[in-house]
Structure 1
Amino acid sequence: MARKPSNIIYSAPERPPLTTLVILAFQHAVLALLFVVYPIVAAAEAGLSFEDTQVLITGCVIFMGITTMLVCWPRTGSGVLLVQLPNPMHLPLAVQSLGLGGPAAYAGTSVLTAFSQLALTRFMGALRSVFPPEVCGVAVTMMGVALAAPAFRRAFNLIEESGGAIDYRYPLVSFVTLAVIVALAIFSRGMLRLFAVAIGASLGWGLAVYYGLTPDHPSFEFSALPLVDLPNLRWPGLTFSWVAVPVAIITAVVSAIDMLGTVVSMQRMDDADWRRVDMNTAGRAIRANSIGDLGAALVGGFASASSSASIGVAFATGTTAWRVGIAAGLMVLASAFSPRLIALLSIIPSSVIGAILLYAAAFLIVAGMDLILSRRMSDRRIFTVGLSVLAGLAVAVLPELVEALPDWMHPIFESPLSVATGFAIALNLLFRIGIRQEASVPVKRGDNAFETATEFLERQGDLWGARRDVVAAAIPLAAEAAEMLLDNDLATGDVEMRAHFDEMNFDVSLLYNGEPIEVPSLRPSPEALLGDAHEVARFVGYMLSKRADRLVLGREGERQVLTLRMEH
């Protein structure tokens, strides 16, 4: 069981009370449904008919709910709270394929994208070195940066042409909503904090109504819409275009990276002792997402992805319980049977949505920075992170750079998240060249073993990017072991201190010529420290075995080997 952080009220395996669970799930479901704007934009850009647009949206909502349940359920997915929303990464793919061949072409390319994502999950274990914490941290940070632009556009009502003038009622509503959410998240406890987003959004909606910022005459009549009706689904057919194949594969890779980033964020939020991403859990989550996208494609729907915005809601409410995700998925699924409910959600004030997105963006940016700085930063890692973030910001603040590229490259470079993460992966692999995963230093009689261990292990920890707390814990253990071998004449000559690192373990081995030490299973008495050298060695060896994650004794040729293993 992971140790629950102090700011989490209901962790992943916990069961909130029924009333609390329903209200928390309702917040996530409403937030997810707000983002049906993505398939609506894609349909409008492609010039789809009203009926085809309804099929695209309905299929998206149904499988958004089903996929949320698959991704959240521990047996099929991540076992943490990851609510799906329409996948913004699919917008370029949807616009291009819908324009080329209508719903059948989009369905075909979506099927290809889903199978490409499934193929990536076969290599999740091998990809651990490709996605160290600094790369995942860049992805999480840029997820927040990517949310900032749509958040501010909605907060300042810059979605449509405004003639260059800003109506300050919109930012007033947004920042009042944001201030209420932040104040409740920081200063309140219990139920008020749990429902911070719902309370803030409700007050913001009321303020928007007071200022007249909601549409008086929506483009549809509520009375003409049925309250409950069967979903409008149909087989779209499948056609493939070679022109869309590169975009489909790129979309699969970027979506998988985005999914990995959300899994990392939730795992880190849920575990006070978080060390590294659980790639098996991430693989299950990506597989569940791919299966959901495949189902959506076969009924003419739009693809979904884990919601980075919902991570901000989870942080605000202090809840990562996967049961909340199951309930939210059921609510989203049920909403597909109520055209009137979906229509109501479509008129939630844009400024209120902007406030929620600003909260989520702020959390993700800080969470990504914290993830990056969880490792010791060598020059290589500093430039990996810095150059990658700059690359992502370049396409965010200078869109003309993307416009200057060939059309087929636009889907790759128009997303700050995909650009920054791609650069981070490439630079991480490039800067690994020339780094040996093993190094050693001699410890001689008369040397200060603690100074030698500190200088050696901190240097190697910086170079390898090991966790700060692991290196700090290894230094005194390695120094005590070296002193024990030299001061008690168990080593007949110098001792070689050897360090080895992979993403799983940080090992420090001491190699020496001399007699092997014995590590007792029961704690020796303190009087052993007053005995001969072998008794002292037994006592020190026992204490080392309790402080290291594992103590291994062995031989290498004619030398004895004592290895201290620290799990990483």
Structure 2
Amino acid sequence: MSGKAPVKPLNILYGVDDKPPPVMTLVLAIQHVLLLTGNFIFPVLIVQSVQGPGEVTQGMISMSMIAGGVAAIIQALNKGPVGSGYLVTEGGSEPYLPAAFLAVQTGGYPLLFGMTMVAGVFQAFISRIIKRIRFLFPPEVTGVVVFMVGASIVPVAVRLFLGVDGMAAPVITPPGLIVGIITFAVIVGTNIWGRGNLQQYCMIIGIIAGYILSYFFGFFTPDNFAQLRQSPWLDLPNVGYLGWSFDIRILVPFLIAAVCASLKCVGDLTTCQKINDANWKRPEMNNISKGILAEAVKTVFGALTGGLAHTTSSSNIGLSLATGATSRVIAYVTGGLMILMAFFPKMAAFFAVMPQPVMGASLIFCITFMLLSGIQIILSRMIDTRKTIVIGTAIAFGISVDMMPGLYSNLPAALQPLFSSSLTVATLTVLILNLIFRIGIAQKKTIQLFPGEENNKKIFDFMETQGGAWAARREVVLRAAAAMNEFIESAASLELSAEPIAMEVVFDEFNLDINISYCGILMEFPQIRPGEQDLLADENAFIKLSGYLMRHYADRIKSEYKDGRCFIQFHFDH
């Protein structure tokens, strides 16, 4: 991490640089491991999509454990070019799931791992240029991608949840529906009404309840029990399925998955920065770049060893905040425990035989957070007509893939991979439309105002329009508008100028500046409030008082008198 040293917030007991007592560290690490176990459903889903044997599922789970453990350790490194230095574990595979299904059904496990390796290399490239291409990923783009990560898994999750049997003529099976509903109810109930750490364990509690129900409803076959009995307690992971191949026809879905994973990583690391620094203002991109590179290294390592690609776990970051413990030491112990678990095959086998309704209930629970996270990211900025069209069009074309299967089947073979999943279509659409609709949007805009006129509505309408076009943060735009309005009213009441006052608004992703120029008396902005005696003795004291009050709006103010004109800049951190 770079820049000024972070200030530990009051609600954080063990900060990122602190070292909790050994026993406390172990307990906190075990909690993180328990929360991560719900993500073992992703290897199960991929293997079951091709009716693969349980041995492959066990091996993939074990190797994903090792890769996830390595990722937690690498991500926590705070020196060198790799690692954000935060407690950030690797959890779900949602962004990679559509591409993974396509790869394993097209060319088996070797194609899955080969293309995953390519995605990891591409993500490493993204980490090197993320600061330069940030303009490609404004909040409306990031929010759509996060939303569609969840939406793209809805068809699979709902089918599993409802206990649907068969693809051509789906039929809901009552036992499967009952198991799915009760499992989901236990997860949600524990999360909402559970006390203490029960909320953090809601996923694993729901899965256990689902297993018990599945036993009574006959979802476990003799083969499942045999697989559990035959799995040893201690053994090396099975990697007999491991191999690598490449198919350029499905390259684009994996590249898009890498972009989606990178965007999710940006969001999660930004959250880590914010919860670990009471003075946080904006994302620190050097730190984020190293964090994305750490995830890329883990993705390549996982593909080389037979583990799945994972993304940063938002739920585990929430657990860190809930427990008030964000120490990177916890990440080291969590990673070690994950690696150790990989050598206990019976545990992997337990998840390999997970019944479909239980998987569906767990997936839907995860999806709800992904969908709402995407919406929150989109609504975190002001939205105008252009942004509305970009967002709505991307989502509409994205969900069309799942709503109308086969809709794009008549496209040329070379274009088929681009329309293979709703996530791919939505991401490409939002990226292209965002670039197109940026045309004609000026990064600076000027408004002329006459002191003494009714300027309040002019200012706020002007800033509302520009804030929407720039997708700026609403609270920053409102503060800027209030500062502009306060200045023009002061200019009239204090008779600073009898001529029009030019206000130029300049915006980029990090800054919003109001550059004011006029002929007349220079407004002063003292650091100390003028007292009663000053108001009586100094004829310019009221100008100083007004300037002092304006300091509450802006983060920084500069003023100077040059060549017969007054120049003032209100700066707002964005």
Q: Which TM-score band applies after superposition, normalised by the shorter structure?
A: 0.7 to 0.9
Q: Which residue number corresponds to residue 348 of structure 1?
A: 354
Residue identity matched to 2:156: P
Q: Is the partner of 2:496 in helix, strand or coil?
A: coil
Q: Which residue number corresponds to residue 35 of structure 1?
A: 42
Residue identity matched to 2:221: P
Residue identity matched to 1:398: M
Q: 1: distance between equivalents of 2:207 and 2:243?
A: 40
Map 1:87-166 to 2 at 5 A: 87-91=96-100, 94-95=103-104, 98=107, 103=110, 109-158=115-164, 160=166, 164-166=170-172
TM superposition shift of 1:393: 0.7
CA contact (8 A) 1:113 1:249 kept: no
Shift in alpha-carbon separation, 1:546–1:163, aligned structure 2, 3 A: closer
2:31 is matched with which residue: 24, 30, 55? 24
| Runs of at least 5 residues in structure 1 that lack an aligned partner in the other structure | none
> Is it true that 1:255 corresponds to 2:258 in the alignment?
yes
| Runs of at least 5 residues in structure 2 that lack an aligned partner in the other structure | 1-5
1:542 is matched with which residue: 545, 548, 552? 548
Shift in alpha-carbon separation, 1:124–1:196, aligned structure 2, 3 A: same
1:473 is matched with which residue: 474, 479, 484? 479
TM superposition shift of 1:461: 1.5
Q: Deviations over 1:494-518 (max 9, x none)?
A: 2112211111112222211124333
- Larger mean Cα displacement after TM superposition, 542-551 or 10-19: 10-19
TM superposition shift of 1:289: 1.9
Map 1:217-256 to 2 at 5 A: 217-218=223-224, 220-232=226-238, 244-245=247-248, 247-248=250-251, 250-256=253-259
2:200 is matched with which residue: 187, 194, 197? 194
Shift in alpha-carbon separation, 1:93–1:361, aligned structure 2, 3 A: closer
TM superposition shift of 1:398: 1.4
Shift in alpha-carbon separation, 1:32–1:281, aligned structure 2, 3 A: farther
Q: Is the partner of 1:191 in helix, strand or coil?
A: helix
Residue identity matched to 2:559: L
Q: 2: distance between equivalents of 1:113 and 1:12?
A: 30
Shift in alpha-carbon separation, 1:370–1:24, aligned structure 2, 3 A: same
Q: Is the partner of 1:563 in helix, strand or coil?
A: strand
Map 1:514-533 to 2 at 5 A: 514-530=520-536, 532-533=538-539
Q: 2: distance between equivalents of 1:182 and 1:459?
A: 41
CA contact (8 A) 2:482 2:553 kept: no
Q: Is the partner of 2:452 in helix, strand or coil?
A: coil
Q: Which residue number corresponds to residue 377 of structure 1?
A: 383
Q: 2: distance between equivalents of 1:527 and 1:352?
A: 74
TM superposition shift of 1:137: 1.0
Residue identity matched to 1:95: V
CA contact (8 A) 1:312 1:360 kept: no
Q: 1: distance between equivalents of 2:105 and 2:565?
A: 66
Q: 1: distance between equivalents of 2:532 and 2:222?
A: 82
CA contact (8 A) 1:517 1:541 kept: yes
Q: Deviations over 1:464-493 (max 9, x none)?
A: 222111111122211112222332233252
TM superposition shift of 1:340: 2.2
Q: Which residue number corresponds to residue 304 of structure 1?
A: 309
Shift in alpha-carbon separation, 1:302–1:97, aligned structure 2, 3 A: farther
- Larger mean Cα displacement after TM superposition, 311-320 or 84-93: 311-320
Q: 1: distance between equivalents of 2:127 and 2:528?
A: 45
Q: Is the partner of 2:172 in helix, strand or coil?
A: coil
The CA RMSD over aligned residues, in Å, is 3.7
CA contact (8 A) 1:170 1:351 kept: yes
CA contact (8 A) 1:21 1:327 kept: no
Q: 1: distance between equivalents of 2:560 and 2:479?
A: 22
TM superposition shift of 1:29: 3.1
Identity of aligned residues (%): 27
Q: Which residue number corresponds to residue 508 of structure 1?
A: 514
Map 1:20-99 to 2 at 5 A: 21-37=28-44, 40=47, 44=50, 59-71=63-75, 76-77=83-84, 79=86, 81-85=88-92, 87-91=96-100, 94-95=103-104, 98=107
TM-score by length of 2: 0.84
TM-score by length of 1: 0.85
Q: 2: distance between equivalents of 1:11 and 1:205?
A: 37
CA contact (8 A) 1:260 1:282 kept: no
Q: Is the partner of 1:551 in helix, strand or coil?
A: strand
Aligned residues: 555
CA contact (8 A) 1:139 1:421 kept: yes
TM superposition shift of 1:306: 0.8
Residue identity matched to 1:469: E
> Is it true that 1:461 corresponds to 2:464 in the alignment?
no
Q: 1: distance between equivalents of 2:385 and 2:148?
A: 21
Shift in alpha-carbon separation, 1:160–1:26, aligned structure 2, 3 A: farther
Q: Is the partner of 1:433 in helix, strand or coil?
A: coil
2:182 is matched with which residue: 172, 176, 179? 176
